[in-house]
Amino acid sequence: EVQLVESGGGLVQPGGSLRLSCAASGFTFSSYEMNWVRQAPGKGLEWVSYISTSGNTRYADSVKGRFTISRDNAKSSLYLQMNSLRVEDTAFYYCARGIHAFGYWGQGTLVTVSS
Amino acid sequence: EIVMTQSPATVSVSPGERATLSCRASQSVSSNVAWYQQKPGQAPRHLIYDASTRATGIPARFSGSGSGTEFTLTISSLQSEDFAVYYCQQYNNWPPYTFGQGTKLEIK
């Protein structure tokens, strides 16, 4: 069974940093592209970042230069390093598997940016 | 950036009836559209890809259609578990992948 489990969310002040993790199991992690998608409380879905199997990355303009996606295939883990956090980055962050359509999602981790 | 616009924002349908949800792209996205279902407190669930192909394990009462700029998700004979928020997403021109704002399907 495919499982994606996010962790690392929490309360951080504006300008602060946070690193999210996504632990994958039930499939060959190294063979799949991965993404981060976020959802502000009560709002819609917003794609954040993508990483290919070979490590190529893409970002939404809203996070470019502040967020960094990475992966460790040996640990079957996906990461999102978030720096210079803003109040508008407050959201549930989901890791999602796939290129184009996202077939599997984790349960999400909440990031709250507030003073 | 391609803008995906869903209508209506909320639709009320009785159990056993058919629901039709619409999604419009700001420019042609060919058939590169996916649909997701999200229930309160849960992650999105993938329903449809390539506009009309059901994802693994999705019941046949869910069907997708359309190409270019107009897309439809149809749920025939609504079950109680189908009441949720539905999102469309385009992956024809990315980055960024873009989602519609969602349609809430509620019980009439």
Whole-angstrom Cα Rg for chain B = 13
Q: Model confidence at A10, in pLDDT bands (50, 70, 90)?
A: very high
CA distance B101 to B99: 6
Provide, as residue numbers in chain A, all residues whose Cβ is less than 8 Å from the Cβ of B89: 45, 101-102
Provide, as residue numbers in chain A, all residues whose Cβ is less than 8 Å from the Cβ of B35: none
Asked if B46 lies within 8 A of A45 by C-beta distance, the reply is no
What number is the average pLDDT over the span A45-72? 98
The H or E element spanning position A34 is strand A34-39
Taking only the tens place, the pLDDT of each residue in A30-39 is: 999 999 999 9
Q: CB of B55 within 8 Å of any CB in chain A?
A: yes
Stretches where chain B sits below pLDDT 70 are: none
Looking at residue B15, what is its pLDDT?
Answer: 94
What number is the average pLDDT over the span A13-24? 98
Across chain B, which distance is largest between two alpha carbons, in Å? Answer: 39
Looking at residue A65, what is its pLDDT?
Answer: 98
What number is the average pLDDT over the span A94-103? 96
Q: CB of B57 within 8 Å of any CB in chain A?
A: no
Q: Structure tokens of B80? A: 């109680």
Asked if A108 lies within 8 A of B49 by C-beta distance, the reply is no
What number is the average pLDDT over the span A42-49? 97
Asked if A100 lies within 8 A of B34 by C-beta distance, the reply is yes
CA distance A85 to A113: 7
What number is the average pLDDT over the span A19-29? 98
Tell me the HSE value of A114 on the side-chain side, using a 13 A CA sphere. 7
Contact between residue B107 and residue B11 where contact means Cβ atoms under 8 Å apart: no
Contact between residue B62 and residue B73 where contact means Cβ atoms under 8 Å apart: yes
Looking at residue A6, what is its pLDDT?
Answer: 98
What number is the average pLDDT over the span A88-115? 97
A47, A58, A101: residue with CB nearest B49? A101
Looking at residue A32, what is its pLDDT?
Answer: 98
Q: CB of B7 within 8 Å of any CB in chain A?
A: no
CA-closest candidate to residue B33, choices B16, B44, B46: B46
What residue of A is the nearest CA neighbor of B92? A100
Looking at residue B5, what is its pLDDT?
Answer: 98
Looking at residue A22, what is its pLDDT?
Answer: 98
